[in-house]
Amino acid sequence: MDLKKILLSCVFVVSVLLLWDRYQAQEAGSLSTTKASVADSRLTGDVPDRPALATTELPAAAAATAPTGSLASGERLTVATDVFEADIDSNGGDLRRVVLLRHREAGVGGKPLTLLDDGPRPYVAQSGLIGADMPNHRSSFEPEPGQLKLADEAAAVELALRHASDTLDVRKVYTFRRDEYVVNVRFEVTNRGTQVVDTAGYFHVLRDGLSPDGESWLQHTYTGPVVYTAADKFRKIDFDSVRSGKADYARQARDGWVALIQHYFLSAWLPKAGALREYYIDALPDGLYRAGVKTPAVRIEPGATETIAMDLYIGPQEQDRLAELADGLDLVTDYGWLTIIAKPLFWLLSLFNDWTDNWGLAIILLTLLVKAVFYPLSAASYRSMAKMRVLAPKLQALKERFGDDKQRMQVEMMNLYKTEKINPLGGCLPILVQIPVFIALYYALIASVELRHAPFYGWITDLSAPDPYYILPVLMGISMIVQTRLNPTPPDPIQARIMQIMPIVFSVFFFFFAAGLVLYWLVNNVISIAQQWRMNVVMEREKANPRR
């Protein structure tokens, strides 16, 4: 059997496996939470226990049982910057809602994307202090007067809230900076009593265990907690393992960070480098989860003030930006098992996009580069296919002569290949090489937020989404038909029939792939057609004018 046809079938199988992988991931995500509705969720949760790594004994933590009911609301304050619209509630001082002004909801013409929200599907950032009489995410704060909009030419804007008692004065301050998705959250704790006070801070993100609304099953990616430390590196802690108590990650470290990630976006707490921290990931009632970090205990002398602070990143998985913030933070962009190929491909795409300012043109340039790199292999493949085409009449004669004796026919075919010095496997290697490139580019396109809503030309307004009018898949199908006509017809009628049907089947599957991926494959096919046609002409001339 012609192994080139087998390999083409393998490409088809790979496409099916990609679709199945997306479907399985979607189903796994949908089963990772309890069946209870979250519309009436209890968002309060318990205050985390004191850190195990604390160097001093802390007073008992807040009551173990949280009050029932949905998260209480107080006065809502909205901070506006060039990248954010953020709502902070005076009850707990929580960050309840964050709108990313530079990113849109899925679909054409979508409004700015809301990442954090305390609606029916909660996703909020909470923080507080551990210890007797210390304010936590269930305590009431009083907002301080101040500017809530980033002024023109200003570098930052702050929102401060205050919680006071007879012995404590606590300010919770949010700092938002221009052109940054990092929010600094700090507690300024003043001991107004006569006794030494010990406390520690906790910072976590709370959300449900469902995938983001509107996510295509084909483009479904991991949603859940991740922890990074220098020792354990990047670890996904899926919701099922958290709820079953089997989550495996480093609880204590002097480095790293903790985050909740989803397709294209994340929220991550970034402790100061070198500082002790304790990570925690918990399952709460009603299918909710929280992932956070606790700071070591600090001792506050009477009349003294101590500060406990943490940076919170809330935004897109822009790899260059994330790599500058913390070690390993860019790993949240998950390229799957072909990361070693996908990352260089994305780097090249980014480079070409810097030149052209168009991701579609960048994909075309990448295709040209890949074809150039593998040209020696391709040239050998095209020559082999052209020779096979020239031999087609002789192969047909063998079929007519030995059609009833399959074994004899195979022997005679191999003898013919040997006589004509043709390697029947010569056209296979380029296809084998392109399969991992194809899959790696698939993951790069669906995982990279930089290509989200990236337009090409005309009707292609989002290269990370399928072609809305299926024009590119149809063109790709036509290009495959042309390729099939340029290649030799298989002697076996069943194989010949399969090769006729394959372009149609491929086109149907490519209806569901990202337009950028179809663009890559279409350009690749067009170049291959030109190269194969040229080689066929050369071989026909050699046949007509054999060397004496």
DSSP state letters, 149-187 = BPPTT-SEEEEEEEEE-SSEEEEEEEEEETT--EEEEEE
Q: Are 294 and 278 in contact (CB under 8 A)?
A: yes
Highest mean pLDDT: which range of 67-81, 98-112, 197-211, 519-533: 197-211
> 91-112: per-residue pLDDT in tens?
999 999 999 999 998 766 679 9
Structure tokens at 465: 């989404």
Name which CATH class applies to 72-328: mainly beta
Taking only the tens place, the pLDDT of each residue in 493-502 is 666 677 677 7
Residue % of the chain over a pLDDT of 70? 74
Predicted confidence at residue 252, as pLDDT, reads: 93
Q: Phi/psi at 356 (nearest 5 deg)?
A: -100, -20
H-helix or E-strand containing 100? strand 95-104
Tens digit of each residue's pLDDT (9 = 90 or more) over 121-167? 999 999 999 988 899 999 999 999 988 999 998 999 999 999 999 89
| CA dihedral (428, 430, 432, 438) positive or negative | negative
> Who wins on pLDDT, 335 or 523?
523
Stretch 36-52: mean pLDDT: 50
pLDDT of residue 503: 76
Confidence band (pLDDT; 50, 70, 90) for 274?
confident
Q: Quick one: three-class SS letters along 472-504? A: HHHHHHHHHHHHHHHCCCCCCHHHHHHHHHHHH
Distance CA 266, CA 268 (A): 6
Sorted by where each begins, the domain ranges of the chain are 72-328, 342-541
Confidence tier at 57 by pLDDT (50, 70, 90):
very low
Q: Looking at residues 446-468, what average pLDDT do you find?
A: 90
- Residue 425: per-residue pLDDT: 58
The pLDDT confidence band at residue 54, using thresholds 50, 70 and 90, is: very low
Specify the amino acid at residue 426.
Answer: G
Between 485 and 229, the higher pLDDT residue: 229
Task: Kindly tell me if the per-residue pLDDT of 306 is higher than 50.
Answer: yes
What is residue 174's predicted lDDT score, i.e. its pLDDT? Answer: 98
Q: What is the DSSP letter of 92?
A: T
pTM: 0.81
- Nearest Cα to 91, choosing from 142, 46, 49, 134? 142
What's the pLDDT at 447? 87
pLDDT single digits (tens) 283-299: 998 889 999 999 999 99
Tens of pLDDT along 353-380?
A: 999 999 999 999 999 998 888 777 766 6
Share of the chain above pLDDT 90, in %: 49
Quote the pLDDT of residue 438.
Answer: 76
Contact 164, 170 (CB under 8 A): yes
The residues, ordered by sequence, that sit 6+ positions from 154 with a Cβ below 8 Å of its Cβ are 178
Whole-number pLDDT of residue 128: 96
Amino acid (one-letter) located at 469: Y
Q: pLDDT of 31-42, one tens digit each?
A: 333 333 333 334
- How many other C-beta atoms lie within 10 A of the C-beta of residue 548? 3
Query: What's the pLDDT at 497?
Result: 73
391 by DSSP, 3-state: which? coil
What number of helices (H) and strands (E) belong to the chain? 12, 19
